Amino acid sequence: MNVGVFSLQYLSFTQVAARRQVAADTPGSVTIVDKAGKNITYEAMETYLKRALDNRLALVYRAMVTAFAKHSPTKFDVSFVTAPELFWNVPWSEFLSEDELQNAADLCLDTVTRNVRTLISKFPADKYGKIVLLPGTVAMLKPNADIRLADGTLATADGKAIVYEALNQVICAHNLPLDDKDYPRPAYMIWPKRTVSTIDYADKYVNTGFAGVGDCKIGEALAVNPANPNVKNKIMNCTATGRSLRVAFVGSSIAQSFDAQGRLLSRTFQNDIVEGLPFGVNICLDYNEASVLKNSFRMAELDERIYKLDFLIAARMALDLKNYANTPYIQYALRNDGFSGGITQAWKLIWTKGSGASLGTMSYNDLAPLDADSPVGKLKGAIAVDESDAFVAPEGMDTAGIPKILDKMNACYVRIWALDVDTSDAVSSALHVSSAQSAVRSEEVQFIE
């Protein structure tokens, strides 16, 4: 199967602050006193967020039509479009109060879902071929008064501050048929991140070499989260919105699939919507701490646990060959990372059959994108996206409901990979390991030489 991967290369970890100052009598506005004692009035947070999310909708749309004009997705059997973690976020420092943060969660999550569905509606399959969107994540926080410490007491006992639950998720949408009786599909799915990084909810980041230091520090141990009891839970003490916030390390959100009316179909991620091409998603730290490659509870959230493409949607997480030591069925690893100016990458994974007790070993080739002679260099093969007012969509494009970009944003590029995916099912269905453990026994796998 010929598969296209269109990756938006974008610095999402450090977004441009664009909340506007307005007149003091503007409805919904918020006035603060700065360090110099001067009153400054900002527009309502809801007004800002709606515009910021519209900006990102417009940016992905422009990226898609620009890249599609150069390399039509119709030359692929199916195309995936990816963006990085935190793509839909604004800087945490833009929230002027904890109330603004709490009130923003549902607005952002609902608006991003609507925007992603608007995006895919502009690219019908009969004109653009089959397309699957994995357009980055939106990360928000919701207070949870029921979270308990490891000893069973409420985390808010003795007047302690509320603990927040992290919601960091990618909305997956597609343009494949929904009325196929032989191959039913949801209209869209949600894949949530399970764990919280020290840099997810931080106003600033201090680079201290490879490790780096965020504003989240590890705090008290928390009770086990039933969503993932094999991951140790704890409080992350974060400095976001200029305030100290307590965030649970392990989130409770699980995958979900929905129909076209937004009705819940299942609490799984239907990752086999493309017949013969199941795919998996890891969001940043989950790749190490709660990976769908190894964690049985995450595996259980997939409809198809044995898949061919592994997508890493991240903001500072590198591909790691060790994660594929027991996954001979995965053929490609695709990374879209919003750190360090934006990084996109594609690995061709190469499984070498072992002998005796050894199942085998995995190696990789780092693939060059289209129009590039090597994978080295972030702008090799990169297609620049016009963010200016002068942008004009290609003739014949459906632009109804697509907003303009009204604020400054980071530069955006698209890099494209063409993947030759083996869908002949050379690896036997015996690979379906009922316990979904990370180890795969050699006698459970059959290979075609």
What does residue 101 show for φ and ψ, rounded to 5 degrees? -65, -45
pLDDT by residue (tens digit) across 343-358? 999 999 999 998 877 7
Residue 78: alpha-carbon gap to chain centroid: 20
pLDDT by residue (tens digit) across 274-325? 999 999 999 999 999 999 999 999 999 999 999 999 999 999 999 999 999 9
- What sign for the dihedral angle of Cα 318, 322, 324, 328? positive
pLDDT of res. 88: 98
pLDDT by residue (tens digit) across 16-74? 999 999 999 999 999 999 989 999 999 999 999 999 999 999 999 999 999 999 999 99
Neighbours of 159 (CB within 10 A): 5
**Residues facing 170 on adjacent strands:** 137, 191
Instruction: Say if 449 falls within a structural domain.
Output: no
**Residues facing 314 on adjacent strands:** 337
Instruction: Report the range of poorest mean pLDDT among 82-86, 225-229, 384-388, 436-440.
Output: 436-440
Instruction: Say if 131 falls within a structural domain.
Output: yes
Q: What is the enclosing helix (H) or strand (E) of 57?
A: helix 45-70
Domains in the chain, number:
1
Q: Check: CB of residue 317 under 8 Å from CB of residue 287.
A: yes
Residue 446 has pLDDT above 80, yes or no: no
CA angle 391, 394, 397 (to 5 degrees): 110
Instruction: Report the range of poorest mean pLDDT among 106-115, 200-209, 399-408.
Output: 200-209
What would the mean pLDDT of 208-237 be, rounded to a whole number? 85
Q: What is the enclosing helix (H) or strand (E) of 190?
A: strand 188-192
pLDDT of res. 448: 30
Side-chain-side CA neighbours of 288 within 13 Å: the count stands at: 10
Q: Which two tokens stand for residue 399?
A: 């632009």
The model's pTM is 0.93
Side-chain-side CA neighbours of 10 within 13 Å: the count stands at: 28
**Three-state secondary structure call for residue 22:** coil
Domain with 84, as residue range(s), is: 2-444
Instruction: Say if 411 falls within a structural domain.
Output: yes
Instruction: Report the range of poorest mean pLDDT among 19-33, 322-336, 386-400, 424-438.
Output: 424-438
Q: Check: CB of residue 98 under 8 Å from CB of residue 121.
A: no
pLDDT of res. 438: 37
**Three-state secondary structure call for residue 218:** strand
Q: How confident is the model at residue 149 (pLDDT cuts 50, 70, 90)?
A: very high
What would the mean pLDDT of 135-154 be, rounded to a whole number? 97
Residue 423 has pLDDT above 70, yes or no: yes
Q: How confident is the model at residue 213 (pLDDT cuts 50, 70, 90)?
A: low
Residue 449 has pLDDT above 50, yes or no: no
Residue 210 has pLDDT above 80, yes or no: no
CA-nearest of 426, 395, 391 to 406 is 391
Going through 119-162 in order, the beta strands assigned E by DSSP cover 131-135, 137-144
Instruction: Say if 271 falls within a structural domain.
Output: yes
Instruction: Say if 86 falls within a structural domain.
Output: yes
CA angle 291, 257, 308 (to 5 degrees): 45
